[in-house]
């Protein structure tokens, strides 16, 4: 479903002659095809599912954020702006991220549901967060929250 949404948006952008959107979505589609090939060699004939596509999109956004920082450090504001524009295009296909409060609530509910007690269960809680909230939680921020909740 997500793949079709990206493809449809690409076609619409081509018709509207939105060059930045077209070039960004072509990069996304190329990355999807690369990952589909990897998935097929590992025995997944259907290619990537929506959660895997969301993970790929998040990875692409993370790469662009790192590039923005490097461009800004080098004084290349035009290149940084271009990367930021690509991020906004890619983010259209990701679900709305959870707020910090919603993330804390989700962590508390999971800890209770999984009967997690102490740091020994951190991996179990973080793994379940990743599985249930694909594309909606920044795991870099969530992992310390889980650690704090389990330690407290």
Residue carrying structure tokens 């690409």: 10
Cα–Cα distance, 133 to 128 (Å, whole number): 8
The pLDDT, as a whole number, for residue 150 is 86
The pLDDT, as a whole number, for residue 66 is 96
DSSP 98: P
The pLDDT, as a whole number, for residue 30 is 96
The pLDDT, as a whole number, for residue 121 is 86
Range of the domain at 39: 2-91
The token duo for 139 is: 């795991």
Q: pTM here?
A: 0.73
The pLDDT, as a whole number, for residue 118 is 83
Q: Supply angle C-alpha 95, 111, 151, rounded to 5.
A: 115
CATH number, domain containing residue 78:
1.10.1510.10
Domain co-membership, 45 together with 69: yes
Domain co-membership, 86 together with 104: no
CATH number, domain containing residue 115:
1.10.10.410
The token duo for 106 is: 């989700």
Domain co-membership, 11 together with 84: yes
- pLDDT tens, N- to C-terminus, the chain (152 residues): 899 999 999 999 999 999 999 999 999 999 999 998 988 888 777 778 888 898 899 899 999 999 999 999 999 999 999 999 999 999 999 888 888 899 999 999 998 998 888 888 888 888 888 888 877 887 888 889 999 888 87
Element (H, E) at 71: helix 50-73
The pLDDT, as a whole number, for residue 81 is 96
For the chain, what is the domain count? 2
Domain co-membership, 82 together with 35: yes
Question: Of the candidates 139, 131, 134, which has an alpha carbon nearest to the alpha carbon of residue 113?
Answer: 131
Report phi then psi at 93, rounded to 5.
Answer: -95, 0
CA quadruple 144, 148, 149, 150: dihedral, nearest 10: 100
DSSP 95: P
Domain co-membership, 141 together with 78: no
Domain co-membership, 80 together with 8: yes
Given a contact cutoff of 8 angstroms between Cβ atoms, the answer to whether 114 and 128 are in contact is yes
| Longest CA span, the chain | 55
For helices 2-16 and 50-73, give the axis angle rounded to 10 degrees: 50
The pLDDT, as a whole number, for residue 45 is 77
Domain co-membership, 20 together with 85: yes
């Amino acid at each position: 479903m997500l793949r079709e949404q990206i493809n449809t948006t690409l076609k619409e952008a081509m018709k509207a002659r939105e060059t930045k959107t077209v070039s960004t979505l072509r990069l996304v589609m190329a990355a999807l095809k690369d990952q589909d090939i990897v998935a097929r060699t590992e025995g997944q004939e259907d290619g990537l599912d929506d959660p895997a596509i969301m993970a790929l999109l998040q990875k692409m956004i993370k790469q662009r954020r790192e590039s923005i920082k490097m461009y800004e450090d080098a004084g290349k504001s035009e290149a940084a702006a271009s990367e930021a524009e690509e991020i906004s295009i890619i983010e259209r296909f990701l679900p709305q991220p959870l707020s910090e409060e919603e993330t804390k609530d989700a962590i508390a509910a999971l800890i209770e549901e999984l009967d997690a007690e102490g740091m020994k269960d951190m991996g179990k809680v973080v793994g379940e967060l990743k599985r249930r909230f694909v594309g909606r939680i920044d795991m870099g921020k969530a992992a310390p929250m889980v650690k704090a909740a389990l330690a407290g």
